[in-house]
Amino acid sequence: MSPAKKSGAPASAKKAAPKTLPAMNRLEVRLAGSGGQGLLLAGLVLAEAAGLYDGREVAMVQSYGPEARGGASKAEVIVSDRPIDYPLCSKVDLLLALNQEAADTYAWDVDPSSWVVVDADLVEHPPTSRAVALPFTATARDKLKKIMVANVVALGAISQLTGVASLKSLEKALLARVPKGTEALNRKALSLGAKLAREQAVKEKPAQAVLSAADF
Amino acid sequence: MAKTPVNRARLLQGNEAIALGALAAGCDFFAGYPITPASEITEIMSRELPALGHPFIQMEDEIASIGCCLGASLAGRKAMTATSGPGFSLMQENLGYACIAEIPTVIVNVMRAGPSTGMPTNPGQGDVQQARWGTHGDHPAIVLCPASVGECFEVAVQCFNFAERFRTPVVLLSDEVVAHMREKVTLPAEGQVEVINRPRPLEPPDWYKPYKADGSQIPRLADLGQGYRYHVTGLVHDERGFPTRRADEVEPFYARLFNKISRNFTMLEMVKGVALEDAEILIIAYGCTARSAQAAVRLGRERGLKLGLLQLISLWPFPRRPVEEALAGKKLCLVPELNMGQISREVKRVNNGRTQVHRHSKMDGSMITPEELLARLRVLS
């Protein structure tokens, strides 16, 4: 009962993965919004980038309503250098909310040391003043003329902000997932997202919170 | 999806891994009816099997699905069906038929919160005793339960191997979390997976006695349509397959039915231990709950608590010996489950009053969290 326990990225990825990736001890990412915003695809791409191309351990779960469009949609990705035990988020380190409902629903269990990244236009009332609000949807609509790549713009931004997956790996994972003929568009969306984050967001991660004494 | 598993890391869902494991084990027949959270298995098999030249049939319901699998298996196919609680209930009658007629087949039950239609996309572990006792009459059962995507693949292969080796239906009991979770796994390359096929008759058709066993206690199974004519029935039967109520034929029949499983308990008792060597407090868990327990062990040890985990992969036959061994000398044992205590009852039976055994039950449609387990242990210890 042990053949499926080997780790390691594909041969092609091993070469590309920079050796200087910072160590990562269980980072929990929650991507939330409404159905149709591409959050499940974003979660998949993020998980594949971190897992297959950055060579870390990953787990991903998702939930969505019965609707083809609309309804709440959520993907959770855990990234770690160690094997992942609990596969759901227990202390979210990075919340990406692409609409108001998602921001309202999920901000409450995000702790003070976490990243909160929201869409600047679709989340009118960010849950906290330290939220990083970036115009993902507006950028996709105005600069790329394709509103559907807002999720990819957001991926570029969170990679730039948090390093949960390297941009290079994200690009590889993304291009392996998207339909043929859209590679250039997606590549551009990813780098635009990174640029947005570089230019408009505060670069520092919020200060680490002290562990609560209520912990065991 | 690639046609054959290759030796390269991939991001797979639990259900995908079950389908790939079945294919790696030589599954060449699938009949089923889609149901959340098991639909992906049916979907993948509907694509992969025809591409390999094998039949896939979407049946009108779950009763027909398992019936179809039993027929296919008698004709020499390695058959599987996949369902969730409501469908598993419908399959119980034919599951008993497979037990008594000794027809190898694999039934995947991805558990969701029940009873009845329950909560279609929420996890539950309420079918553990149903998988053991759901069909009437006393019978042996083999039920395996994975807790990770990698284990989904391994356990699917194992289910087919046990079904073929012991000529018996085997239940793969997964749950919604494990089924829909995606993880990075490296599947073994083709040819690296041990595959066992049922023993077929060595004698010519005229001499064939379908239920006459040798020392292995497992009769050789002839494929229908190969000239071996015999009778298959749900009635208790003699060596020729014909109904009997003669005590001197019935008694050895039942003895053989149970012995073929019980004499192989060592092979069938599958568990994984985490940090058991110096543990003072033991958690016994299975399926998605084992993941919460793994995290609880990690967090508890960071805080100086000597926790250990015994993860059950085989639920039935209940792994009595490993459980007994793990319980020995422990201060306390906690059994978390998404039901009101279906396995904790078994642990208490094996424990026989020697250690404190507590259940931790949850039935609100969500997973047990590691912090919840630690809080419970803080109260108990």
Predicted local distance difference test score (pLDDT) of residue A5: 40
- Does B11 contact A8 at a Cβ distance shorter than 8 Å? no
Cβ atoms of A130 and A67 closer than 8 Å: no
Residue % of chain A over a pLDDT of 90: 66
Domain-wise residue ranges, chain B: 9-186, 272-380
Q: Kindly report which listed range (A206-210, B192-196, B209-213, B324-328) carries the lowest average pLDDT score.
A: A206-210
pLDDT of A108 strictly over 70:
yes
- Does B154 contact A1 at a Cβ distance shorter than 8 Å? yes
Predicted local distance difference test score (pLDDT) of residue A16: 43
Interface of B with A in 51-90 (CB under 8 A): none
> B267: distance to nearest CA of chain A, Å?
12
Predicted local distance difference test score (pLDDT) of residue A205: 53
Which residues in A lie closer than 8 A to residue B313 (C-beta atoms)?
1
Predicted local distance difference test score (pLDDT) of residue A20: 59
- Confidence bin at A200 (pLDDT 50/70/90): confident
Q: What is the enclosing helix (H) or strand (E) of B31?
A: strand B29-32
pLDDT of A10 strictly over 50:
no
B37 CB near a chain A CB, below 8 Å? no
Nearest residue of B to residue A53, measured between CA atoms: B9
Interface probe with B: pick from A1, A31, A56, A85, most Cβ of B within 10 Å: A85
> B232: distance to nearest CA of chain A, Å?
35
CA distance A194 to B156: 42
pLDDT in tens, A143-189: 999 999 999 999 999 999 999 999 999 999 999 999 999 999 999 99
pLDDT of B9 strictly over 50:
yes
Nearest residue of A to residue B37, measured between CA atoms: A63
Beginning with the edge strand found earlier in the chain, give each strand of the sheet holding A72-80 in spatial order. Answer: A132-134, A110-119, A92-97, A27-34, A72-80, A57-64, B182-186, B9-13
Q: Which residues pair with A59 in a beta bridge?
A: A78, B183
CA distance B6 to B310: 31
- Does A59 contact B299 at a Cβ distance shorter than 8 Å? no
The full length of chain B comes to: 381
pLDDT of A7 strictly over 90:
no
pLDDT of B17 strictly over 80:
yes
The pTM score is: 0.91
- Does B378 contact A9 at a Cβ distance shorter than 8 Å? no
Best CATH choice for the domain B272-380 from the list 3.30.460.10, 3.40.50.920, 3.30.200.20, 3.40.50.2020: 3.40.50.920
Among partner residues B182, B186, B303, which is closest to A216 by beta-carbon distance?
B303
Predicted local distance difference test score (pLDDT) of residue A107: 82
B294 CB near a chain A CB, below 8 Å? yes
- Does B180 contact A8 at a Cβ distance shorter than 8 Å? no
What is the average pLDDT across A98-111? 88
What is the average pLDDT across B34-40? 95
Best CATH choice for the domain A24-200 from the list 3.40.630.30, 3.40.920.10, 3.90.1640.10, 3.40.190.10: 3.40.920.10
Interface residues of chain A, partner chain B, Cβ below 8 Å: 1-11, 44, 47-48, 51-52, 57-63, 84-88, 90, 215-216
- Does B181 contact A61 at a Cβ distance shorter than 8 Å? yes
Residues 6+ apart with CB under 8 A from A199: none
Cβ atoms of B5 and B24 closer than 8 Å: yes
pLDDT of A211 strictly over 90:
no
B334 CB near a chain A CB, below 8 Å? no
Class of B9-186 in CATH: alpha beta
Mean pLDDT of chain B: 95
Q: Which residue has the higher pLDDT, B159 or A3?
A: B159
Domain-wise residue ranges, chain A: 24-200
Q: Kindly report which listed range (A122-136, B14-28, B239-253) carries the lowest average pLDDT score.
A: A122-136
- Does B181 contact A60 at a Cβ distance shorter than 8 Å? yes
Cβ atoms of B279 and B330 closer than 8 Å: yes
Predicted local distance difference test score (pLDDT) of residue A68: 66
B191 CB near a chain A CB, below 8 Å? no
> A200: distance to nearest CA of chain B, Å?
33
Interface probe with A: pick from B145, B184, B378, most Cβ of A within 10 Å: B184
pLDDT of B77 strictly over 80:
yes
> B297: distance to nearest CA of chain A, Å?
10
Residues 6+ apart with CB under 8 A from B239: B209, B210, B211, B212
Nearest residue of B to residue A1, measured between CA atoms: B154
Predicted local distance difference test score (pLDDT) of residue B175: 96
Among partner residues B8, B183, B193, which is closest to A10 by beta-carbon distance?
B8
- Confidence bin at A206 (pLDDT 50/70/90): low
- Confidence bin at A4 (pLDDT 50/70/90): very low
Residue % of chain B over a pLDDT of 70: 98
Predicted local distance difference test score (pLDDT) of residue A1: 41
pLDDT of B348 strictly over 90:
yes
- Confidence bin at B320 (pLDDT 50/70/90): very high
DSSP A43-87: HHHHHHIIIIIS--EEEEEEEE-S-SSSSEEEEEEEEESS---S-
Predicted local distance difference test score (pLDDT) of residue B120: 84
Q: Which residue has the higher pLDDT, B201 or A208?
A: B201
Predicted local distance difference test score (pLDDT) of residue A66: 66
pLDDT of A209 strictly over 90:
no
pLDDT of A63 strictly over 90:
no
What is the average pLDDT across B347-364? 96
- Confidence bin at A12 (pLDDT 50/70/90): very low
pLDDT in tens, B84-114: 999 999 999 999 999 999 999 999 999 999 9
